[in-house]
Amino acid sequence: MSIRLENVNYIYSEDTVYEISALKNVNLKIGDNEFIGVIGHTGSGKSTLIQHMNGLIKATSGTIYYNDKDIYDSKYSLKELRCKVGLVFQYPEHQLFEVDVLTDVCFGPKNLGLSEEDAKASAIKALEQVGISEDIYEKSPFELSGGQKRRVAIAGVLAMEPDVLILDEPTAGLDPKGRDSILDQIYELYSRRSMTVILVSHSMEDIAKYVNRLIVMNKGEVKYDGTPREIFSHYKELEEIGLSAPQITYAMAALKKNGFEIDENITTVEEAKQEILKCLM
Amino acid sequence: MKDITIGQYYPTNSMIHQLDPRVKLLGALIFIISLFMTDNFIVYGVITIFIGIIIKMSKIPFRTLMKGLKGILILLIISAGFNLFIVPGNELIRVWIFKITDEGIKRAIFLGIRLIYLVIGTSLMTLTTTPNDLADGLEKAFRPLNKIKIPVHDITMMMSIALRFIPILMEETDKIMKAQKARGADFETGGIIKKAKSLIPLLVPLFVSAIRRAVDLAMAMESRCYQGGEGRTKMKPLKYTFKDKVTYLTYAGFLFFIYFLNRVIVSIDVLSILSI
């Protein structure tokens, strides 16, 4: 599985008073089994970028290849692409509409042409993956709690068994327990199902905890593309573009400044704990 | 969807933009009245010069103005076409059983011009006035109707809120469409029935969203002590400036001018016919 973006540009409202260049000369290569984080200030082009990856938005110029096939080719089926590259928008519970949870999750597979039974089987599998129990299947999606609705919405995309799962701030509006729960479940999909997961987030801590590759967007361009550890060590540059490093990185930097012999290149609380314990021994 | 220019505001700072919305509302009305006051090409020429000056003063690009005409193109062709063949008069061309008369051509042209100018006139008004100013203007203008128990404030408040929510709901529609498309939904292919069915995953969430916003908005308004229009003051009350008063005088002048010009030209026509 590979997604390649070459010289992709996107301009909103071209030729009007409100014209905005949202993506500038983006070049990216995404491969199998990666867990990628995308961060950037509001308006940096994160949402626009991910909507290009499943063909929802067509680039103003540039090419995009999925498994080495040009997705803008007239014979290419964008509908199929969208099932292979699953995109979960922010507040996905707003897309729920069916009579009951199971039918809603079947929407995706049925659009793919699966039979009633196959669609149901995929739906049930997806609902298990997000931790929704059987007693909820017959309920109306509008009766559920916020967190449950969110999981059902994510299941709706998972039911299509995509190779890539893109999530735009999946933890927005959830309480801390809900957030950890969803992220842990997403991590399981990455490790157990070998999916490539792309996570757009504003939380540096979440990013540092889960991803192995970090893309930083700034004003429509890809500013940095590397490991979280590398990128977060340059927190001054991140601050200049409206971002920051995880809180723990700052804490470690302060400790180092005050004379503690520790590696300040730490991005998660777990690593920090180990480092501090080592130092104290 | 982003190309809907009906009621769209074009932000510039021109003299026309700065006029009181009531002046512009009346201006559009006066303009439309003038279109029906005459059947004479010369008078229409004068009207064209008048509207041309206003367009120039408004600093609105010609292209934007013309975009609004796209919507009525079909209506235009049908109505003008109808008149072309139906009106009795001196026959000029005959195609099968359809005949085109000189009166028919004249009527079709005038109908066409009237329709086009109507759209241009009202477009100018909406392009140079924000929807909220328009609503304020209507509210102030129709306030006397409160005396006969018409809830002017409530109606204009509903209008303002509806206008305010058009872009929000359009954005929401876009979001929902994209979310469903990401699940393989197809809004384009299929016959009428299939297309109608495919709208359910769009309309249900949209409806739920609209109701949710309405409830939230009502609560927000109540928390800020909104109790209806009774005793409510305005932050930006509409007040006439010197420019507005001058514009009103210009309207009067324009109408009289058009009226007399039309009379003079008609009497010249009558005279020339009599002398033959």
Rounded CA-CA distance A102/A120 in Å is 7
Rounded CA-CA distance B52/A85 in Å is 53
A4 closest CA partner among A29, A38, A36 = A29
A206 closest CA partner among A242, A237, A170 = A170
State the nearest Cα–Cα gap between B114 and chain A, in angstroms.
29
DSSP assignment, residue A115?
A: -
B2 CB within 8 Å of a chain A CB: yes
Q: Evaluate if residue B1 carries a pLDDT over 60.
A: no
Neighbour-count burial of A246, counting CB atoms closer than 10 A to its CB (0-12 exposed, 13-18 middle, 19+ buried): buried
State the nearest Cα–Cα gap between A152 and chain B, in angstroms.
13
B183 CB within 8 Å of a chain A CB: yes
Q: Evaluate if residue A48 carries a pLDDT over 70.
A: yes
Helix axes B131-142, B102-127, angle to 10 degrees: 100
pLDDT band with cut points at 50, 70 and 90 for residue B146: confident
DSSP assignment, residue A32?
A: T
pLDDT at residue B37 in the model:
84
Nearest chain B Cα to A107, which residue? B183
Token pair recorded at residue A111: 């659009």
**Structure confidence by residue, pLDDT tens digits, A243-264:** 888 888 888 888 888 888 888 7
Instruction: Note whether A63 and A72 are within 8 A (CB).
Output: yes
Residue percentage of chain B with pLDDT more than 90: 21
Mean pLDDT of all residues in A52-80 = 90
B186 CB within 8 Å of a chain A CB: yes
State the nearest Cα–Cα gap between A84 and chain B, in angstroms.
10
pLDDT band with cut points at 50, 70 and 90 for residue B3: very low
Nearest chain A Cα to B180, which residue? A95
**Structure confidence by residue, pLDDT tens digits, B5-35:** 455 788 888 888 889 999 999 999 999 998 8
pLDDT at residue B275 in the model:
65
**Structure confidence by residue, pLDDT tens digits, A234-245:** 888 888 888 888
Instruction: Note whether A171 and A7 are within 8 A (CB).
Output: no
State the nearest Cα–Cα gap between A155 and chain B, in angstroms.
11
Nearest chain A Cα to B12, which residue? A17
Which of A50-59, B182-191, B209-218 has the weakest average pLDDT?
Answer: B182-191
- Report the amino acid identity of residue B67: K
Q: Which of B12, B183, B197, B198 to mutate to test the interface with A (most CBs of A within 10 A)?
A: B183
Q: Report the Cα–Cα distance between both ends of chain A, in Å, rounded.
A: 46
The reply to whether ipTM tops 0.90 is no
Report residue B136 CA to chain centroid gap.
17
| Mean pLDDT, all residues of chain B | 84
pLDDT at residue A20 in the model:
84
B179 CB within 8 Å of a chain A CB: yes
Rounded CA-CA distance A19/B58 in Å is 21
Q: Evaluate if residue B100 carries a pLDDT over 50.
A: yes
Mean pLDDT of all residues in B180-199 = 86
Mean pLDDT of all residues in A200-215 = 91
pLDDT at residue A66 in the model:
92
pLDDT at residue B64 in the model:
82
CA dihedral B118, B120, B123, B127 (to 10 degrees): -150
B147 CB within 8 Å of a chain A CB: no
Nearest chain B Cα to A87, which residue? B182
**Structure confidence by residue, pLDDT tens digits, A151-167:** 999 999 999 999 999 99
Helix axes B152-181, B131-142, angle to 10 degrees: 160
pLDDT at residue B230 in the model:
78
Token pair recorded at residue A82: 């969208």
> Which 65-94 residues of chain B touch chain A by CB within 8 A?
none
Query: Where are chain A's structural domains?
Result: 1-76+163-177+190-229
Token pair recorded at residue A221: 């361009």
Which of B24-38, B72-86, B193-207 has the weakest average pLDDT?
Answer: B72-86
Mean pLDDT of all residues in A124-129 = 91
Domain A1-76+163-177+190-229 homologous superfamily, CATH: P-loop containing nucleotide triphosphate hydrolases (3.40.50.300)
C-alpha dihedral sign at B22, B23, B27, B30: positive
Mean pLDDT of all residues in A119-135 = 91
Q: What is the 3-state secondary structure (H, E, C) of chain B?
A: CCCCCCCCCCCCCCHHHHCCHHHHHHHHHHHHHHHCCCCCHHHHHHHHHHHHHHHHHHCCCHHHHHHHHHHHHHHHHHHHHHHHHHCCCCEEEEECCEEEEHHHHHHHHHHHHHHHHHHHHHHHHHHCCCHHHHHHHHHHHHHHHHHHCCCHHHHHHHHHHHHHHHHHHHHHHHHHHHHHHCCCCCCCCCCHHHHHHHCHHHHHHHHHHHHHHHHHHHHHHHHCCCCCCCCCCCCCCCCCCHHHHHHHHHHHHHHHHHHHHHHHHHHHHHHHHHHC
Rounded CA-CA distance B269/B272 in Å is 5
Rounded CA-CA distance B139/A158 in Å is 52
Rounded CA-CA distance A9/A24 in Å is 5
Q: Evaluate if residue B271 carries a pLDDT over 70.
A: no
Residue A111 has its nearest CB partner, among B183, B200, B209, at B183
Q: Evaluate if residue A35 carries a pLDDT over 90.
A: yes
- Report the amino acid identity of residue B221: M
Nearest chain A Cα to B63, which residue? A16
Question: What is the pairing mode between strands A61-66 and A20-30?
Answer: unpaired
Q: Which of A111, A142, A149, A157 to mutate to test the interface with B (most CBs of B within 10 A)?
A: A111
Report residue A16 CA to chain centroid gap.
31
**Structure confidence by residue, pLDDT tens digits, A83-103:** 899 999 999 988 999 999 999
Q: Which of A14, A17, A82, A97 to mutate to test the interface with B (most CBs of B within 10 A)?
A: A97
B245 CB within 8 Å of a chain A CB: no
Q: Which residues of A touch B2 (CB under 8 A)?
A: 13
- In degrees, rounded to 5, the angle at the alpha carbon of residue B70 between the alpha carbons of residues B64 and B75 is 145
pLDDT band with cut points at 50, 70 and 90 for residue B2: very low
Question: What is the pairing mode between strands A3-12 and A20-30?
Answer: antiparallel
